[in-house]
Structure 1
Amino acid sequence: MRTTRAVPLLLATLLTATACGAQVGDADAAATTTVPRCAQSVEYREPRSAVAYEGGSADKLFALGLADKVRGYVMPPANPPVTESPWAEDYASVEMLSDDLLNRELVVDAGADLVVAGWRSGFSDERGITPELLDRLGIQSFMHTETCWNYPGFAQRVTPIEGLYEDMRRLGDIFRVPDRADAVVADMQARVAAVEAAAPRVDPPPSVFLYDSGTDRPNSAANQVPPNDIIRLAGGRNILDDIDGRWTDVGWETVVERQPEIIMILDYGDQSATEKIDFLKSLPTLRSVPAVQSDNFFVLDYNEGISGPRNIDGLERFGGYLRELRR
């Protein structure tokens, strides 16, 4: 679904300061464009001071060439170093506002006019920072479409990769760079199509279990997060694709029962990918799992697994892995 774009207001002269000294915005700032926030239509002013939460949010803005419109970013400890990003120079050009979770005081103090995050992935009822609360403060918000599937009152369900495309288009409209967004999306779509065309055709497709973390119960990827699409589009099948959710805990008995041929490791946090693999190999419970018996482990970078442009990098790498595995 494409968005509607408002016609910019044409002003012959800039409005001057009011008696109390406040400045009235110029033509571009005064114009609004209507863009969906999940399934809710919202009128957006063009942002000049955006705050991004996590690598996926910042990457989307940087991929659209919007570093000069970014006030700063919030990067929780789980996120790998920004120096590893394809947009490392853009990260270096803006301020890191916090290495903790997103909160209301932070965005207010930063003077943010737009906050980019996900529902329950940045925005949170429990921590008191939601789009509705920010609306009341006069701060705009943008939510990743991938996280909208259970957003109260305005749920929207799309596959995660389609959600990525939609985010790029919506952000392109909000920031008034729709042609740039269309070009970015077209490149992503061409790369995805190339992986799909080269995917191994086997029935049944190779089964994959994503291991995020956890000892007593593993945390993994259900069908509403990008790894599900990465696995599917590359020619595999997520063993938890029947679970309607995002990141979810399951029992080890479920993993054993579904006998994954490949285990995908989400690489982040204090425990390295190698340490996670060693842990899984050490579990007596998993000795009968084909992935463990065959030593079939694939490492997915954290920013390839959360909604963002690097999803396509992860897809291309996993597509290559599956093709090599099937030779």
Structure 2
Amino acid sequence: MRPRAWCGVLAAVALSATACGGGEGRKADDAGATTGARAGFPVTVSDCMGAKTTFDAAPQRIVTSNAAGLELLMWLGAGDKVVGTGFPPGKGALPGEYAERAAKVPVLGRTAIPKEKLLGSGADLYLDSFSSMKNMGKMGEAPTPKEFEAAGIKHVFLKSSACAAMNKSPRTDLSQIEADVEELGKVTGTSKRAAELVEGMRKKTGEVRDALEDVPADKRPTYFLFDFDAGTKQPMAVCNRQVANAVITQAGGRNVFADCDGDFKPVGWEDVVARNPDWIQLAVRNRGSEEANDKAFDEAAEFLKTFPATKDLEAVREGRFLRIRSERTTIGGVRSADTVREIAHTLHPDRVK
């Protein structure tokens, strides 16, 4: 993972659970909750390198590395277990039904959570969207496996993001994101909800696939994701192992850097110009308000319109821009299917409504 490419990542949050009653009724409820928490256990999952972690029951105190893991737990109905997060969601980053509750989750780090704070958080699970905090620049070192074990914290990854660079082949669909949803559903005892979410994702992407099935691959428009926040001096390309390549491909586009093996790679503006994309995504990170986001999108567009290397590109001259935040494209989650549909509608408006 590359520091600049990840530094502003996406978000989500916590769902409140309310219990009422007392006496024998409460004892019965507690017994039922215990039974439910252990249903389907033990569950064993692996990290990016294949090391295994086993859960005998659902975790009760979860810390998330960023808003992406937080959001996924909210969708699963396990948001009430979240006791802290790093990279908290900005205003407007989460679906409305989760935003208020997300704002109540304790922020353990505005960026990566400091090692000491993470180990002292009292968590029994750390959900990590990054392969290692050492990839997050000068934001501190990650705890070692022994330190996690000593603190009683099990370490689980969202592999669609954390393990992207280690994929053996290009990613062209959302199957790895769906696998993350299903696996986290097993870990948190919410497998039924996870299955419902995956079914909904597949329905959306399936409709897009069917609508575009007779469009030849070489006739699909080319697409460049311009990560404005990664810097303008040297653009950062999303390569074929990154989540964004799957989103773009499934939306009926052709990532102009799909021949790049890995997740991210710095390229030159001459490389972008040579590939002459039909469409350009102005990928900016959430600024905390709709007004601030619009301003950032405008700044990204203005840069391309005035920068000598890009101002004469046909896509720039004709304003063929998509204003979609980078987190929604480069970090996997339930809403990745919505991003597929949004891009597909822009690229193929007559086919995808």
Q: TM-score range by the shorter chain?
A: 0.7 to 0.9
How far does the alpha carbon of each residue in 1:135-177 deviate from its partner, in whole angstroms, 9 at most, with x for none? 35331111111222446xxx77683722211111111111112
Unaligned runs of at least 5 residues, structure 2: 1-33, 288-294
How far does the alpha carbon of each residue in 1:222-259 deviate from its partner, in whole angstroms, 9 at most, with x for none? 12222211211111100011111223211001001111
| 1:241 aligned counterpart, secondary structure | coil
Match of 2:103 in 1: 92
- Say whether residues 1:210 and 2:235 are aligned partners: no
Rounded to whole Å, the distance in 1 between the matches of 2:118 and 2:84 is 10
**C-alpha displacement of 1:289:** 2.0
Rounded to whole Å, the distance in 2 between the matches of 1:221 and 1:229 is 10
Using the TM superposition, name which of 241-250 and 116-125 deviates more.
Answer: 116-125
Unaligned runs of at least 5 residues, structure 1: 1-25
How is 1:97-136 mapped onto 2 (pairs within 5 angstroms)?
97-120=108-131, 122=133, 124=135, 127-130=140-143, 132=145, 133-136=147-150
- Say whether residues 1:59 and 2:76 are aligned partners: no
Match of 1:241 in 2: 258
Contact 1:303 1:311 in 2 (8 A): no
| 2:319 aligned counterpart, secondary structure | coil
Alignment coverage as a number of residue pairs: 297
Measured at CA, do residues 119 and 42 of structure 1 come closer, stay the same or move farther in structure 2, by a change above 3 Å? same
Contact 1:114 1:139 in 2 (8 A): yes
Rounded to whole Å, the distance in 2 between the matches of 1:124 and 1:135 is 22
- Say whether residues 1:323 and 2:323 are aligned partners: no
Measured at CA, do residues 124 and 43 of structure 1 come closer, stay the same or move farther in structure 2, by a change above 3 Å? farther
Rounded to whole Å, the distance in 1 between the matches of 2:170 and 2:157 is 13
Rounded to whole Å, the distance in 2 between the matches of 1:326 and 1:189 is 18
Amino acid at match of 2:263: R
Rounded to whole Å, the distance in 2 between the matches of 1:110 and 1:296 is 46
Contact 1:145 1:158 in 2 (8 A): no
**C-alpha displacement of 1:293:** 2.4
**C-alpha displacement of 1:51:** 0.8
Using the TM superposition, name which of 64-73 and 83-92 deviates more.
Answer: 83-92
How is 1:111-190 mapped onto 2 (pairs within 5 angstroms)?
111-120=122-131, 122=133, 124=135, 127-130=140-143, 132=145, 133-146=147-160, 147-150=162-165, 159=171, 161-190=174-203
Using the TM superposition, name which of 169-178 and 109-118 deviates more.
Answer: 109-118
Aligned equivalent of 1:220, options 211, 228, 237 = 237
Contact 1:118 1:144 in 2 (8 A): yes
| 2:240 aligned counterpart, secondary structure | coil
**C-alpha displacement of 1:84:** 4.4
How is 1:167-316 mapped onto 2 (pairs within 5 angstroms)?
167-199=180-212, 201-202=215-216, 203-213=218-228, 214-268=231-285, 272-305=296-329, 306-316=331-341
**C-alpha displacement of 1:307:** 1.7
**C-alpha displacement of 1:93:** 4.5
Contact 1:131 1:141 in 2 (8 A): no
| 1:141 aligned counterpart, secondary structure | strand
Contact 2:71 2:94 in 1 (8 A): no
Amino acid at match of 2:183: R
TM-score where L is the length of structure 1: 0.81
| 1:248 aligned counterpart, secondary structure | strand
Rounded to whole Å, the distance in 2 between the matches of 1:192 and 1:295 is 27
Aligned equivalent of 2:81, options 69, 74, 77 = 69
Contact 1:220 1:249 in 2 (8 A): yes
Measured at CA, do residues 308 and 109 of structure 1 come closer, stay the same or move farther in structure 2, by a change above 3 Å? same
Aligned equivalent of 1:41, options 37, 45, 52 = 52
Contact 1:47 1:175 in 2 (8 A): yes
**C-alpha displacement of 1:269:** 5.7
| 1:73 aligned counterpart, secondary structure | strand
| 1:34 aligned counterpart, secondary structure | strand
Contact 2:126 2:154 in 1 (8 A): yes
TM-score where L is the length of structure 2: 0.75
**C-alpha displacement of 1:310:** 2.1
Rounded to whole Å, the distance in 1 between the matches of 2:178 and 2:249 is 17
Aligned alpha-carbon RMSD (Å): 2.8
| 1:280 aligned counterpart, secondary structure | helix
Q: Which protein, 1 or 2, shows the higher relative CO under an 8 Å CA cutoff with sep ≥ 6?
A: 2
Measured at CA, do residues 205 and 84 of structure 1 come closer, stay the same or move farther in structure 2, by a change above 3 Å? same
Larger proportion of strand: 1
Measured at CA, do residues 256 and 52 of structure 1 come closer, stay the same or move farther in structure 2, by a change above 3 Å? same
Using the TM superposition, name which of 263-272 and 166-175 deviates more.
Answer: 263-272
